[in-house]
Amino acid sequence: MATAPVEMVGQLDQFFRPALPLPQRMAFGTLRFITRKPLGAFGALMLILIIVIGVFSPWIAHDPLTAQHLSDSVQGPSSKYWFGTDENGRDLYSRMVFACQVTALVGIGVVIFVTIISLVVGVSSGYFGGKLDFIVQRVVDIWLSFPAIFLILTLLAVLSVRPGTTGFFGLGRGPDWGPDPNGGPWFWNTFPRTTIVIFALGLVLAGGASRVVRSAVLATKANPYIEAATVLGATSTRIILRHVLPNIMATVIVLATLQLGFAILAEATISFLGQGVTNFPTWGQMLSGRTRDLAENHIYLALFPGGAIFLAVFGFNMLGDALRDVLDPRLRGSR
């Protein structure tokens, strides 16, 4: 093949269409994804929507964060209050718009955190193997021996602080450090709580994720090209960065998308239980407390936040499935 006659190479050109420029290729790729995997595209749309609404929430919401219309409490959906008002006369639509910040920030934060931890743990354990693998896997055993929700609740309790204390490693120092907790319609004003929730959820979800990464690394490591690279004298760092990581990327991306759904569901659950982010509206929180008693006669109070959680998690799971089919054919049909 190395010595193909020049005239043949010229003839070959008619079989290959010249590659389109990158923007067009990306546009066609996106279009194909939308037509082939409409539900996956719906999930992607949900993700973009939540991020955009979260970022622009002070302008999208009708009311400021703390506004109350006490004379209009527990009103049904109307043209003035799109999703109705709650028992404190707060506009449910505005609160749900603000809550998008929590969903987006916690979801993305947890996914980044989980990906980093699970990559470090999974790759080192899977690639180096031997004694290190054995010890790390026993630690992961311990990690996975806790029911997730309790590890989250215990970590939340460990990490949270009360006034006058510095908390775990000084993670939440309260009002004297970071943004003013009572200021402005932005979620990061609740800074210590945000970090704590992301940290707790991330630590818990990373245990299972590291197992998946490890098995992907083991599968990649069995390939001849890894052996070839080793024989050529490549260092471990080089093999991991140039050969292992690119090959497990598909698994990692799919895993991250599925973790997004888990993270949002878990965040909603702990909010519902009255833990987690307590000083900013969240979807889970809107379903807890008095809402459940009131919702008997005012069903919209439960329907809108609950439906939002459901649609978001449903969309992200669909997106994860669709991405798996597209990116990682080996995993198709598994799970």
Percentages helix, strand, coil for the chain (3-state, rounded to 5) are 70, 0, 30
**Long-range contacts, stretch 290-296, CB < 8 angstroms, 24+ apart:** 290/87, 291/86, 291/87, 294/74, 294/86, 294/87
Per rule CB under 8 A, count of chain residues that contact other proteins: 50
Nearest approach, Cβ of residue 301 and other proteins (Å): 10
**Interface map 212-251 toward other proteins (x if CB under 8 A):** ----------------------------------------
Residues in the chain: 335
> How many Å apart are CA 299 and CA 83, to the nearest integer?
11
Q: Which residues contact 95 (CB under 8 A, 6 or more apart)?
A: 61, 86, 281, 286
Please choose, from the candidates 97, 120, 148, 27, the residue with its C-alpha nearest in 3D space to the C-alpha of residue 304. 97
Under rule CB under 8 A, residue 138 binds other proteins? yes
Under rule CB under 8 A, residue 125 binds other proteins? no
Judged by CB under 8 A, the residue of 36, 290, 292, 330 near other proteins is: 292
**Residue whose structure tokens are 């994804």:** 33
Under rule CB under 8 A, residue 106 binds other proteins? no
Q: Which is nearer to other proteins, 195 or 269 (CB)?
A: 269
39-68 residues in contact with other proteins (CB under 8 A) are 39
Q: Which is nearer to other proteins, 17 or 335 (CB)?
A: 335
Please choose, from the candidates 95, 48, 114, 75, the residue with its C-alpha nearest in 3D space to the C-alpha of residue 315. 48
Q: DSSP letter for 85, please.
A: B
Judged by CB under 8 A, the residue of 28, 56, 150, 225 near other proteins is: 150
Binding segment for other proteins among 121-129, 175-183, 234-242, 307-315 (CB under 8 A)? Answer: 307-315
Judged by CB under 8 A, the residue of 34, 74, 219, 295 near other proteins is: 295
Nearest approach, Cβ of residue 149 and other proteins (Å): 4
Nearest approach, Cβ of residue 292 and other proteins (Å): 6
- What sign has the CA pseudo-torsion 253, 258, 261, 262? negative
309-328 residues in contact with other proteins (CB under 8 A) are 309-310, 313-314, 317-318, 321
CB 249 within 8 A of CB 319: no
> How many Å apart are CA 76 and CA 299, to the nearest integer?
9
Q: Which is nearer to other proteins, 211 or 243 (CB)?
A: 211
Nearest approach, Cβ of residue 294 and other proteins (Å): 10
Binding segment for other proteins among 68-76, 77-85, 192-200, 293-301 (CB under 8 A)? Answer: 293-301
Write the Ramachandran bin of 76: left for phi over 0, alpha for psi from -120 to 50, otherwise beta: beta
Binding segment for other proteins among 112-120, 144-152, 177-185, 231-239 (CB under 8 A)? Answer: 144-152
Please choose, from the candidates 118, 119, 115, 96, the residue with its C-alpha nearest in 3D space to the C-alpha of residue 50. 96
Judged by CB under 8 A, the residue of 261, 263, 285, 328 near other proteins is: 261
> How many Å apart are CA 292 and CA 294, to the nearest integer?
6
E-strand spans in the chain?
none
Q: Which is nearer to other proteins, 244 or 317 (CB)?
A: 317
Q: Which is nearer to other proteins, 148 or 234 (CB)?
A: 148
Q: DSSP letter for 91, please.
A: B
Give the footprint of other proteins on this chain (CB under 8 A): 39, 138-139, 141-142, 144-150, 153-155, 157-158, 160-163, 165, 167-168, 261, 265, 268-269, 272-273, 284, 287-288, 292, 295-296, 299, 302-303, 306, 309-310, 313-314, 317-318, 321, 333-335
